[in-house]
Chain A
Amino acid sequence: MNVMSWMLVVISALVLSTAALSPVMAANAAMTTPAKPIAVDIRDFTFAPKTLTVSAGTRVVWTNRDEEPHVVVSAGNQFSPSRALDTSDSYAVTFDHAGTYTYYCAMHPMMVGTVIVK
């Protein structure tokens, strides 16, 4: 195996281990999902509440209450983006790891929200 191939193996391993740590992957595992998800409403082109503090393992559910579609996307690519959320559509992410997760709407980027996981 040449040097290039070794680098590819190392990079692949890094990518895989990073992915395993992401909250979305953790959500799929669904180990300890708390009973009550926390709701974030998307209304009048704002996230409500704009800043949300939750404990690790909390499932956060965004629901679009606007006539206009919105897309929830992580500013630091910390979790997978939603599809286009039409009126009444929802999107959920389980946050298993402490941290500050800034997100925004990919279509209307002035819409910004934060989830703080303790």
Chain B
Amino acid sequence: MQDIEDRDTEGRRHFLKCMAWAGTGTLWLMHGGVLKAQPLTTKGATAVTDATFSFVQISDSHIGFHKAPNMDVAGTLRQSLAMINAQKKEPDFVLHTGDLTHLSRPEEFDALSGIMQDARMAKVFYVPGEHDVIGDNGAEFFRRFGERQQSGGWYSFDHHGVHFVGLVNVLNLKAGGLGSLGADQLAWLKKDLAGLSADTPLVVFAHMPLWPLYPDWGWGTDDSNEAVSYLRRFGSVSVLNGHIHQIQQKVEGNITFYTARSTAYPQPAPGAASAPGPLKDVAPNDLHRYLGIRDIRHVQGSHALAVTEEVMA
């Protein structure tokens, strides 16, 4: 009897532990051409009413992963989507910044599609992560989730005067290198942006960070400098990435770089462990974090939000 109770307690503790950081996404609000981040909560955002429009970024759902600290990555993705559906003002669309799956397996892609359909997501724009292109250079990913604008899988679109660009930086990676855009994609990007006036707000998204966030762990893109050089003339540029399963930000002139959390599991801060990978023991001996779920979200979200406002003001 005691054993059963212990197991139940452990199970609940584990669930709450996951809840403390999983099921997360970022609500992006466009205010006069400048993006502002809000944590995604069940309560809905406060500042949505005066925004031009909003969209949500989710990332790194890793469907197929089934180890500590998250045995139910499908469940935590569903929680994220439920939060999106709980917004008072429906976001116009969702960006998924890659690593939909853990191992690029057909059944993992199937599961991801099913979860998105069940949650009745409106339009979702995807870019692949390195976990989505294993063994076939992304053929299956692009067949299922591609926008089919360019043969390389990259694309752009306009929404309420904002130009969005989805880039692919997880293919044709070279030994010893980082993420890669490649000459063809860079040439296309240059051309894609050439006709735009400098006051067009830009949102550029890709899986791996488009800045040298922590190259020792492969957290960067070899030719991102070239891409960023095309962005510099614009007055408001937001670069949204995933890959590292935590929020990191950097501002360079008019360009704000942002990495999103994972809906599946966190990774250590840059250099805080011997290698990247799932943080198996989330916040050990920190029991208060397992309680008051909403407050934890609020505290973590407020922190991120404060940083965003500080750098974007």
Residues of A within 8 A of B (CB): 44-46, 66-69, 71, 75, 81, 83-84, 86-87, 102-104, 106-110, 112
Contact of B134 among A75, A106, A112 (CB under 8 A): A106
Q: Is the CB of B276 within 8 A of A68?
A: yes
Instruction: Contact check, B134 vs A107: say whether CB atoms are below 8 A apart.
Output: yes
B134 close to A110 (CB less than 8 A): no
Could you name 11 residue pairs across A and B whose Cβ atoms are closer than 8 Å?
A: A44-B275, A46-B275, A67-B280, A68-B278, A71-B134, A75-B175, A83-B134, A87-B67, A107-B130, A107-B134, A110-B178
Interface 1/0s, chain B 98-139, versus A by CB < 8 A? 000011100000000000000000000000001100110000
Residues B102 and A69 in contact, CB atoms below 8 Å apart: yes
Contacting residues, chain A, for B174 (C-beta < 8 A): 109
A102 to B275, CA, bound (A): 22
Which applies to chain B's interface (DSSP): helix, strand, loop or mixed? loop
Chain B residues in 8 Å Cβ range of A86: 103
Contact B177 A109 (CB under 8 A): yes
Do the beta carbons of B278 and A67 come within 8 Å of each other? yes
Q: How far is the CB of B117 from chain A (nearest CB, A)?
A: 25
Which residues of B are found within 8 Å of A81, using beta-carbon distances? 135
Could you say which of B131, B176, B215, B217 contacts A104, with CB atoms under 8 Å apart?
Answer: B176
Report the separation of the CA atoms of residues A108 and B217 in the bound assembly, to the nearest whole angstrom.
9
Beyond A68-B276, A68-B278, A109-B173, 12 additional contacts (C-beta under 8 Å) are A44-B274, A45-B217, A45-B276, A69-B131, A84-B103, A84-B134, A87-B67, A102-B175, A106-B134, A107-B134, A108-B130, A112-B176
- In the complex, chain A residues whose CB is within 8 Å of the CB of B135: 71, 81, 83-84
Q: Are B176 and A108 in contact (CB under 8 A)?
A: no
Q: Does chain A have a CB within 8 A of B33?
A: no
B277 in the interface, Cβ–Cβ < 8 Å?
Answer: yes
- Say whether A68 contacts B134, CB under 8 Å: no
Query: In the assembled complex, how far is the CB of residue B244 from the closest CB belonging to chain A, in whole angstroms?
Result: 13
| Residues in B neighbouring A44, C-beta threshold 8 A | 274-275
**Chain B: CB-nearest residue to A109:** B173
Say how far B309's CB is from chain A's closest CB, in angstroms.
Answer: 34
* Chain A proximity of B265: nearest CB distance (Å): 9
Compute how far the CA of A81 lies from the CA of B133 in the bound complex, rounded to whole angstroms. 14
Binary flags per residue of B207-218, CB closer than 8 Å to A gives 1, else 0: 000000001111
**B173 surroundings in chain A (CB, below 8 A):** 106-107, 109
Bound: A110/B175 CA distance, A? 6
Contacts of B278 in A (CB 8 A): 67-68
CB distance from A84 to the nearest CB of B (A): 4
Chain B residue, CB-CB nearest to A110: B218
A72 to B217, CA, bound (A): 17
Q: A109 contacts B176, CB within 8 Å?
A: yes
Inter-subunit contact A109/B218 (CB<8 Å): yes
In the complex, what's the smallest C-beta–C-beta distance from B139 to chain A, in angstroms?
Answer: 15
Indicate which residue in A66, A83, A109 contacts B277 across the interface (CB closer than 8 Å).
A66
Q: Which residue of B lies closest to A68 (CB)?
A: B277
B130 to chain A, nearest CB (A): 4
Q: What sequence of 0s and 1s flags, for each residue 168-192 of chain B, a beta carbon within 8 Å of any chain A beta carbon?
A: 0000011111100000000000000
Contacts of B280 in A (CB 8 A): 67
- Within the complex, what minimum Cβ distance (angstroms) separates A75 from chain B? 4
